[in-house]
Amino acid sequence: MQSLYYVGLDVHKKTVSACVKLADGTIVNEAKLAARPSALIEWARTLDRPWKGGMEATLFTGWIYDTLNPLASGLVVGNPLMMRAIGASKKKNDRLDARKIADLVRCGLMPACYMPPPEFRELRRVLRYRNFLVRQAVKMKNKTAGLLMETGCEYNKKRLHGKKYFEELLGTLDTIPGSVKEMMRFNREMMVTFDRCQQKLLDALENKPLIAERVERLQSIRGVGQVVALTWVLEIADPKRFSSIDRAQSYCGLTSAQKESAGKSARGPISKQRNPHLQHILIEAAHLAPRWNEGLKEVKEREEKRGNKNRAALAVARKMVAYLLAVDKSGKPFEDRRAKKDDASEKK
């Protein structure tokens, strides 16, 4: 036990506060380092013993983890929400935070969260940037419609963003100011650019050898398309880290918070402790997937009979998670067991 150092790292944009402790809690040294790879490597090499470290998950955690992990006996990234509950106190600063993190590592109480491999994080960053471009394109579409409504112009909502109709519409708008026409043209140019870029990113991601086979296999589930499959693969990374479907559904933000006390149990709204990227994609897909998947259609119809469409969408999304996890874990294309049973009954 005494042969190891236990290191707490409080990471920020420009600085990293480090605290090194022995197993009995004795502080060996403390340092405030520049948040640069060279500075962190130089500091790590000054430690004369093997060390285990921990840090809180932040925007800057990825590159710090990749820099220090090869130099450490173990490096843990902590769940920010759980660490906040464990380390609550009146007095708070970078030095004290580093000490508390070192104590969590030393006592084995660090609430570790999963850290995907660097190659998955790189592809995931690209996918999230693609989603950003899609949101920007939607904003441009909405702004174009807003400009027309502000000037009292009539237009066909379904055809507005078609190239031919858009040009015809601009030719008939003689009463609106010229500045509005210029803004509408600019909006359309940006929308087309964003759409072209996001599709280019999607195609590049789908053809990556690291994930191509998994993405293709997940699309064997009827109702699961390119975006859903890519999002699942890159956000989940390793499906075996989920021991059950319930855990996967919780990670995707499809289960409500539960509070139980004195023998009474109550369910709250959907928990905020989730992966928001997966949650958004799955909920969106849940509204469309039942059109092509009979199993999901049955789930939707059963829940809608109870009178709540939002609950029906959640139920469909949960079922999709069950399908995705089963296919991804097994490494085999999706097989509809209901269809097999129907064929067997017909043969009889």
Would you place residue 1 in the very low, low, confident or very high pLDDT band (cuts 50, 70, 90)?
very low
> Which one, of 321, 210, 334, 343, lies nearest residue 275 by Cα?
321
pLDDT digits (tens, 9 = 90+) for 181-222: 899 999 999 999 999 999 999 999 988 999 999 999 999 999
Q: Which residue has the tokens 């759980």?
A: 82
Which segments of the chain does DSSP mark as H helices, in order?
A: 37-44, 61-68, 80-86, 94-107, 118-150, 163-172, 178-206, 212-218, 226-236, 245-251, 276-288, 294-304, 309-330, 337-347
Query: Can you give the pLDDT at residue 175?
Result: 80
pTM of the model: 0.86
Q: Domain 5-107, what fold? A: Nucleotidyltransferase; domain 5 (3.30.420)
pLDDT of residue 302: 92
What is the full DSSP assignment across 204-222?
HHHT-TTTHHHHHHHTTST
Q: pLDDT tens for residues 156-187?
A: 888 988 889 998 888 888 888 888 889 999 99
Average pLDDT in the 232-261 region? 89
Q: Exposure string (b/e) for 51-84, b if CB count within 10 Å is 16 or more? A: bbbbbbbeeebbebbebbeebbeebbbbbeebbe
For residues 327 and 80, which has the higher predicted lDDT (pLDDT)?
327
More confident residue, 345 or 6: 6
The residue-averaged pLDDT of 230-252 equals 93
Has residue 91 got a pLDDT over 90?
Answer: no
How far apart, in whole angstroms, are the C-alpha atoms of residue 336 and residue 343?
A: 11
CA distance readout (Å), 244 to 48, 82, 248, 339, 341: 42, 22, 7, 25, 26
Domain ranges of the chain: 5-107, 118-206, 218-259+275-334
Residues 266-325 pLDDT 10s: 767 777 788 999 999 999 999 999 999 999 999 999 999 887 788 899 999 999 999 999
pLDDT digits (tens, 9 = 90+) for 133-155: 999 999 999 999 999 898 888 88
Q: What rounded mean pLDDT belongs to the chain?
A: 89
Nearest alpha-carbon partner for 56 in 14, 4, 22, 94? 94
Instruction: Examine the pLDDT at 93 and tell me if it is beyond 90.
Output: no
Write down the pLDDT at residue 347. Answer: 52
Under 8 Å CB-to-CB from 306, ≥6 apart: which residues?
none
